[in-house]
Amino acid sequence: MGEISKKKYPLWSIWYEDEGYDINGQRIMGRQAAGWSFLKGIIKDKPDRISAYIKNDEQRKFFIEKVKSVISSDHQMEIDFINFSEPQKSQDYGGIFIPGPGISDFCSKRSFHGHDQYSVVGITHTTASHTVMNGLSSLAMSDVMPWDAIICTSECVLDTVNKVIEDRFDKLSSKFSIKNPVYPQLPIIPLGLDKDEFEYTDDFKIQSRNSLGIGINDIVIVYVGRLSFHAKAHHLPMYLALENCSKELKDNQKIHIIQTGWFANDFVKDAFVNEGKKICPSVNFHFLDGKDQNNKHISLSSGDIFISLSDNIQETFGLTPIEGMAAGLAVLVSDWNGYKSTVRQNIDGYRVNTILLPNGYGEDLAYDHMMDKINYDHYVGMSVQRVAIDISDCIEKLSILIKDKEKRIEFGKSGKQRINDSFDWPIILKKYRELADDLDSIRLIESKNYKDFCLPSLPSNRMDPFNVFSSYPTAILKNNHKLIKTAGINQYSISELFTLNSINYSKEYLPHLDDFVSIYNFFEDGKFLTIKSLINKTSVEESDIFKIIIWLIKFGYIAFNGEMDEK
């Protein structure tokens, strides 16, 4: 590869499947919220052109609808759609962006066009699932190159990724002679948000609180996210802390907890609702439907404190705490995974201590999940019972925030400024562009060290079937094989045969009918021809001549009669 072509847009072509960007369904996951926020961030950055890598017209329509819902009337933007079967066209954008960590298959498909043609970039969301773990552990034996990347959204995620790939490499090294595994880049870039979405007027804040029956002196604590004790955050530590803190309130105060999200089923819902009444009789509960995005803004604009005590191995970054910070709320979160990278202790709020069991105490869960004794939900759900939130620490820190309005205001201002400086989409997109430039530079330099590997070819598990199965036939057609016209075997014309269902179904992968007729007309009764001689007689492509000849033999128009002597 001589040089990197000038790109049409400084970010990659976006792999678009609507499910990964849709926040209007019945099951909204963090990856979907992050995907939609990312797409909005790009569009609101007002580029002249963006690209979407899509599988079909349905996805094209979904993408256009998403763009129309966000793009401003004064913004003229061209959309370049790249068909799934033509990923090499993403070279104009530096490559393809995958809204998840599973880049290996996309890299494998790149093999046909040459691995040095473009980059493949993914991003981590949850890393706990077997699918993701399997993808990470297989990186050492995959087609990923140094100019590919998996964006890690926090230091903790990077640590997880490194542990998985290093453990796999150590095991492989004990079996094979592997010295220098090739891995993608693993940059740390956090998720972003549109800070302007969380600017609330005083009137809207008052209206939101009034709509929920919240008094002027009441303390409102807000949780936004999936309401799941087994897959997101166990609610009891939070409930216990709330009830304890409620006993220290002034006479004219009440604690309100707004939990805005969705329940997977009635069993989970009953646990939250009934256990809330039992554990927190002194606290006012509000459950709002998080599938309605307006409810998120009503909740945040009503709040004094944002809380999220995640204790689940599924959590990797945590988008909702930075939404709370963008809304100007003091934040109380668990000192867990990505929250460590977003909420600064005693600056934007507090992080509550968490405790984990030592290495080895989760092997039974991992084994049972591997052997399908328990499913993924049970795997993460059982692990929650072995992760502890320090409730005493939580009570102490929550109590400070409830009592000290000035500290809440101070933390809220600090958090809001942190969003402006570090998490607003223009800031994050700048880091993405810098990564894109870095990958281009790496590709330009490093690809010279992998010349043979970068030669265009199908991947080993998708090889040409006529190579893989070449031992099956009696002979393999060559350009010096003798071919002769047959008599009396097939009385039907080629065009008549083309109308049969058993032929017509495959015409997309057959040469044109006119070329069949043209080649067949060269055959004369009793005279031998070879493919080599046909190549000299016609302008039909050599590859098409081979396909036509094998077809004519198959259906009895000509016969195969051995090889011509080489002279």
26 and 134 belong to one structural domain: yes
Kindly state the average pLDDT of the residues 159-164. 93
Residues 34 and 459 sit within 8 Å (Cβ to Cβ): no
**Tell me: the pLDDT tens digits for 354-389?**
999 999 999 999 999 999 999 999 999 999 999 999
**Tell me: the pLDDT tens digits for 420-453?**
999 999 999 999 999 999 999 999 999 999 999 9
With respect to residue 461, please indicate whether it lies within any of the assigned structural domains: no
Tokens of 440: 């281009």
161 and 267 belong to one structural domain: no
Task: Supply the DSSP string of 99-129, one letter for each residue.
Answer: SSS--HHHHHHHTTT-TTS-EEEEE-S---S
Residues 354 and 387 sit within 8 Å (Cβ to Cβ): yes
129 and 230 belong to one structural domain: no
Task: Supply the DSSP string of 144-155, one letter for each residue.
Answer: --TT-EEEBSSH
With respect to residue 396, please indicate whether it lies within any of the assigned structural domains: yes
With respect to residue 467, please indicate whether it lies within any of the assigned structural domains: no
185 and 214 belong to one structural domain: no
Residues 466 and 550 sit within 8 Å (Cβ to Cβ): no
Kindly state the average pLDDT of the residues 184-207. 96
As a whole number of angstroms, the distance between CA 166 and CA 529 comes to 60
102 and 182 belong to one structural domain: yes
As a whole number of angstroms, the distance between CA 299 and CA 292 comes to 11
With respect to residue 416, please indicate whether it lies within any of the assigned structural domains: yes
Which pLDDT score is estimated for 567? 45
With respect to residue 465, please indicate whether it lies within any of the assigned structural domains: no
140 and 17 belong to one structural domain: yes
Which pLDDT score is estimated for 523? 95
As a whole number of angstroms, the distance between CA 89 and CA 159 comes to 34
Query: Which residues make Cβ contacts (< 8 Å) with residue 62, sequence separation at least 6?
Result: 16, 18
pLDDT band at 562 (very low <50, low <70, confident <90, very high): low
**Cα distances (Å, whole numbers) of residue 455 to 117, 444, 452, 464:** 10, 15, 5, 16
pTM of the model: 0.89
56 and 113 belong to one structural domain: yes
As a whole number of angstroms, the distance between CA 276 and CA 252 comes to 22
173 and 226 belong to one structural domain: no
29 and 118 belong to one structural domain: yes
Residues 412 and 329 sit within 8 Å (Cβ to Cβ): yes
Largest CA distance in the chain: 111
104 and 119 belong to one structural domain: yes
What is the domain-level CATH number for residue 379? Answer: 3.40.50.2000
**Tell me: the pLDDT tens digits for 273-309?**
999 999 999 999 999 999 898 999 999 999 999 999 9
With respect to residue 2, please indicate whether it lies within any of the assigned structural domains: no
183 and 261 belong to one structural domain: no
482: containing domain: 473-563
With respect to residue 367, please indicate whether it lies within any of the assigned structural domains: yes
Residue 5 confidence (pLDDT) above 70: no
Query: Which residues make Cβ contacts (< 8 Å) with residue 147, sequence separation at least 6?
Result: 116, 119, 185, 439, 440, 442, 443, 446, 447
Residue 2 confidence (pLDDT) above 50: no
147 and 284 belong to one structural domain: no
User: From the DSSP assignment, how many helices (H) and strands (E) are in the chain?
Assistant: 22, 17
Residue 33 confidence (pLDDT) above 90: no
Q: Which residue has the tokens 């195969």?
A: 560
Number of domains making up the chain: 3
Task: Supply the DSSP string of 451-520, one letter for each residue.
Answer: TTTTS----GGG--HHHHTTTSSS----TTEEEEE-SSS--S-HHHHHTSHHHHTTGGGS--HHHHHHHH
**Cα distances (Å, whole numbers) of residue 98 to 109, 255, 503:** 14, 43, 39
Q: Is 325 helix (H, G, I), strand (E, B) or coil?
A: helix
Which pLDDT score is estimated for 31? 85
Which pLDDT score is estimated for 8? 67
Which pLDDT score is estimated for 140? 85
**Tell me: the pLDDT tens digits for 101-147?**
999 999 999 999 999 999 999 999 888 888 999 999 999 889 999 99
With respect to residue 463, please indicate whether it lies within any of the assigned structural domains: no
Which pLDDT score is estimated for 10? 72
